[in-house]
Each structure stands twice: as C-alpha cells, then as structure tokens.
Amino acid sequence: MSVSDFLSKVALHKEYNAFIQIDEIDLNKRFENICDGPLKGELVAVKDNICVEGLNLTCASKMLDGFKVPYSATVIQKLEKAGAIIAGKTNLDEFAMGSSNEFSYFGPAFNSVDKSRVAGGSSGGSTVAVGCGLVDYALGSDTGGSVRQPASFNGVVGLKPSYGRVSRYGLVAFASSFDQIGPITKTVEQSAKILGVIAGHDPLDATSMDVPVPDYVANLKRPASEFTIGIPKEYFGEGIQPEVEEAVRKTIINMETAGAKIIEVSLPHTEYGIAVYYIISSAEASSNLARYDGVRYGFRGSDESMDEMFRQTRAKGFGSEVKRRIMLGTYVLSSGYYDSFYGQAQKVRRIIKEDYLNVFKKVDAIITPTTPTTAFKSGEKLTDPMAMYLNDIYTVSANLVGIPAMSLPVGNDKNGLPIGCQIMAPSFKEETIFQLGTLIEGFQK
C-alpha cells in the first residue's frame, strides 16, 4: 500500500475517528526508509500513549497539548527494525482510562461494525483501524481489558501478553503494575507473529522479564486432544447477554468435540475483581499523573501564581474520567483510609492470584466470554460510571494476576455485532493461547 492509498482509505473512514494524528511528511520518510525484516512494508497504527519519535504524544488529553517526544518506545524500535511502518497515532480514552473511547479530548471513536455503537476502550482507535482495514495491525495497551474489550466489540483479535513479556519503556504509565502493550490483529497467526517481534527482555524496563521467547508462528498447530480446558462457572452468571453465552458455550462444545478435555472450575473471588482493580489502578494512576503539573511540558493553565498554575493546569487539562480516578486514588491512599481500602485490595489481589494458580494446576487454559454484552450504544453509559466499569468484569482479573489473555471473535448477535471469546493461560504461556486460538478460529470457517 502506498502513502496515497493509505491516506485515501483513512479519508473514506474519517467519521470513525480512529486516528488522532497522521503526519504525511513523516509517513513518506518512513516509507522511504523501510528496513528488511519479517514485517517489511506492513502498516501499524499505534495507540497514542506509546512514544514514537518525531510525532506528538497526546494520550488523547489536553494536558499534553503540543508535546513531541524525542525518542521511540522499545516496541516501536523493534517493529521498525523488522520492517514495519508506523502509520500514525490512534484515538483512545484519555490517559487510557475508559471502556468506550468516549473520554477522548479529540472526540469518540466509533465501532467499525456499527457507527451508532461504541468502539470500546481504551484502545478503541487501534481496534477500529484494524476492523476497518486501514492498517495491517495495531498496538494498544491493556491495563484492565483495554485491548481485549474493544477487540471483542470490533470483531478482531486482541492480546494482552503476560506482565513482563513486552517492554513498557516508552508507554505512558497509567497503572504500572497492570499495564501491558499488546497487538491488535485480524488473525491469531498475525498476533503470534507480532508478539514474536515485540516480546523479550529490555534493560530499559525494570519490570521486563528475561524469559525465552518461543517461535510462536512455528508452533501454532497442536491437536485439541492435548488440552485440558477449564470453564469457570463464575463467568456465566447474572448480567451476561444470552447470545454471548450461547456463542462461547458453542465454542466450548466445539473444542470438546475436537478432543479437548473440558472441566468446570471455580474462581471464587472473581466478584471482587472490579473493586480491587479500580482501587489499586486508581491509586497508581493518582501517583503516576502527579507529574502533569504544567511546569515542564504540555498544557499550562495559568501564570498568576504557582498555586493557581497547578490548580488551573490540572482542573482544565484533565477530563472528567481522569479527574474521577485521580480523586478516587488519592482518597484510598490517604491517611486513615490506606489500610481499609488500598491495603485490603492488595490482599484480595493476592487471593485472586492464588485462585488462578490453583486452577492452572488442573488445566492448560481457561475459556470465558470477553465481555458480558456486545457493543452498546454511544452515550448509553456515560452518566453511569459503575455500569461503564462493569464492562471490564471478565477482563480485569488477567491484569490483576499478570497472566496472558486473548480475545478473538466467535460469532455475532442478532444485530450483527461481534461476540468475543477470551482465552487465559499461565504466565508466559502465550504459545498455549495461540494454539487454542488457532483451533477456535478454525471452527468459524
């Protein structure tokens, strides 16, 4: 695809608002300087909370107005070394805080299947860019489901790697003990290919793990009979859309028919996942976002006095959802409440992790729905934060525990909206997820 062809496609899909920034001059330079490698000439869209040298970094926030980064994230360097071309920066919920991509300073992204529906969040722009066929694949970040949930809503494949599998150097921190960069693709094989390029130890990231990276693509095929799969009863309870449950259960039946051993398992503390996630992630966000004060870079609200400058910068620079989470995080970390909220949440996080460790002693992987429903109408949940947060009920646990998880499409509801199925596996067992994903993909053909 040429630069002009790409720009023409983007213009035709402008109303989806997938991209925040495309620099035509920069893009032409990237086309002229392609490296030889396994991804030569392939276009990748990048969520605009990942640093790309020469391009602005906004995090979809007024707070970073006019900020241009002087370096590229490790994942970007690896992709370009493999021959990929950075197409531009994609839309997201401000500072990656949201489940619908409606909390963006640049306006919402819209679902690639139905423009009246949300794209999902926070990596909405990246999934829409892939769903509309504007790029070959995209990068997103996943803190509580921000790759998998919009992937489910747009009928594409979204992977959250194990915590520590992919370098976070150059990713703007939201909640540092949760954040992971992951690929958004059309197929499982593409996902395996991209992870093989971006994974690996990075000395610039203290949380990056020095664990061997398998040849994922070479090992995609494995018979279903070699797998034992757990089905957690807690993921099929109240609130799930019947068509979502039916599609995922059909997938499970197909796996069993193909020879996999299916057993029911229990993750008894699943119900606490949302509360634990929003307490700990908001606490980490309140600390990480303290650096945005108008002093060093980005938006500055006032020059009247130092106190007024801080006040105006943060009041005008941040949107409503970011301010909500900063206030929640500051509250749970405050004197008198720390032990009751943050301390307790950390203890429950450990208990949830033990649930998963115990289950993975019996099974190779877990299969669940990705989301309780298909994509909802734009604006439907904007005034109800709790209803919005519950969209992540099936995805947050993988981030709490640090395990890999992938969403892939397994059908559509009566309105033609995609339904996602989620596969989770033990830490650094992405290979298992790709193998199961390949089998599940085969059932859709």
Apex CA 127: angle with CA 33 and CA 157, to 5°?
100
pLDDT digits (tens, 9 = 90+) for 280-320: 999 999 999 999 998 888 899 877 788 888 899 999 999 99
Residue 434 clears pLDDT 90, i.e. is over it: yes
pLDDT digits (tens, 9 = 90+) for 28-44: 999 998 999 999 999 99
Q: Which bin fits 346, alpha (ψ -120 to 50), beta or left (φ > 0)?
A: alpha
pLDDT digits (tens, 9 = 90+) for 122-142: 999 999 999 999 999 999 999
What is the β-pairing status of strands 19-21 and 85-90? antiparallel
Among 67-71, 148-152, 200-204, 243-247, whose mean pLDDT is lowest? 67-71
137 DSSP assignment: E
Number of domains making up the chain: 1
Predicted local confidence at residue 420, as pLDDT:
98
At residue 292, what are phi and psi to the nearest 5 degrees? Answer: -90, 90
Length of the chain: 445
pLDDT digits (tens, 9 = 90+) for 332-342: 999 889 999 99
- Please give the residue range of the domain that contains residue 339: 1-445
Q: Residue 184: which residues within 8 A CB-CB, separation 6 or more?
A: 123, 126, 127, 130, 137, 138, 139, 140, 147, 150, 151, 156, 157, 158, 159
Q: If you write DSSP's letter for every residue of 335-394 in order, what string do you get?
A: TTTTIIIIIHHHHHHHHHHHHHHHHTTT-SEEEEESSSSSPPBTTTTTT-HHHHHGGGTT
At residue 63, what are phi and psi to the nearest 5 degrees? Answer: -60, -30
Burial 348-360 (b: 16+ CB within 10 A, else e): bbeebbebbeebb
Please tell me the distance from the alpha carbon of residue 368 to that of residue 356, in angstroms, as a whole number: 14
At residue 19, what are phi and psi to the nearest 5 degrees? Answer: -105, 140
Active site amino acids: 47, 122, 146
Q: CATH number of the domain that 33 lies in?
A: 3.90.1300.10
Choose among 124, 130, 153, 150: nearest CA to 375: 153
Predicted local confidence at residue 303, as pLDDT:
75
Q: pTM of the prediction? A: 0.96
